Amino acid sequence: MKKHNTALTIAGSDSGGGAGIQADLKTFSACGCYGMSVITAITAQNTQGVSDIFPVESSNIEKQIDAVITDIGADAVKVGMLHSAGVISLVARKVKQYEIKNLVVDPVMVATSGDKLLQDEAIEALKSELLPLATIITPNIPEASILLGKKITSQSEMPEAARELSFNQSVSVLLKAGHLSDENLIDVLYDAEKDEIVKLPSQRIKTLNTHGTGCTLSSSIAAFLARGETLQTAVANGKDYIDQAIKAGKDYQTGKGHGPVHHFFRWWK
């Protein structure tokens, strides 16, 4: 019998379908993995913003994780919106219990619309309990600035910032440049395994359809890690996937605000 490469997302639900577990599951499928989900919160959300967040009980989150891992397993796990310190602690405990090998953490704090998604008291729990367990974390500039406690204002500051976020060179970091104003963007990967900085250039794509780009990039990296690719190859392939998904989605209008990327650009236009 054949065996799927499996990827699990632990994140919030986006009712609009562009971000969160909906984006993650689309990405897993598009990148060749069998996707599974653990829902941490239910949001009332569309392309214009988040109007409500309903947290899922920690006991149910734990049962969701147990149900998936003990039966199907996961070749990689992507973690997104966790919302509270208690849920962060729970997920960290489960990562240790099941000895998760490929853990991609997208430290989701603010939605594309500007809506806050992480409680203030949860930030310290994220830094002390979960991020040090990750294979790679994928912060954008605002998230990295919050984690470091200082602003990042230029691309020249990014390599050192990525190293600072690596928890003494134990966690790889993909620091994304999209929130800077440059037309030519250079994301920075700090590969902790090799103690190496890799610069990943790309051209800014002019579009409003950027809802869920962070979710999509981090889940594509998780999918490629689940398929057995090396960290640098998984990140390069994830970058290529999100760039093509943004380009393919820029000509669509979905909703009245920041629309989604086109996750299935390889199959239909």
Give pLDDT tens digits along the chain (269 positions). 999 999 999 999 999 999 999 999 999 999 999 999 999 999 999 999 889 989 999 999 999 999 999 999 999 999 998 989 999 999 999 999 999 999 999 998 766 555 666 667 788 899 999 999 999 999 999 899 889 989 998 888 999 999 999 999 999 999 998 777 677 889 999 999 999 999 999 888 999 999 999 999 999 999 999 999 999 999 999 999 999 999 999 999 999 999 999 999 999 98
- Helices vs strands, H then E, count in the chain: 8, 9
pLDDT at position 108, please? 83
Q: Which of 102, 67, 103, 79 is nearest to 11 (CA)?
A: 79
Element of type H or E holding 148: helix 141-148
Give the predicted TM-score (pTM) of the model.
0.96
Residue count of the chain, please give it.
Answer: 269
Catalytic residue among 6, 27, 135, 210: 210
Predicted pLDDT at 180:
74
Q: Which of 27, 40, 135, 213 is catalytic?
A: 213
Q: Identify whether 228 is a catalytic site residue.
A: no
Classify domain 6-137+207-249 by CATH number. 3.40.1190.20
Q: Is 214 a catalytic residue?
A: yes
**Which of 16, 215, 216, 238 is the catalytic position?**
215
Annotated catalytic, 9?
Answer: no
Strand-pair partners of 259: none
Query: Measured between alpha carbons, how far is 20 from 10 in angstroms, rounded to an integer?
Result: 9
* Catalytic hit among 212, 238, 249, 259: 212
Cβ(169)–Cβ(163) below 8 Å: yes
- The pLDDT value given to residue 16: 97
Residue 86 annotated among the catalytic residues of the structure: no
Structure confidence at residue 109 (pLDDT): 78
The rounded distance, in Å, linking the Cα atoms of 26 and 267 is 12
Q: Where are the chain's structural domains? A: 6-137+207-249
**Pick the catalytic residue: 12, 17, 18, 214?**
214
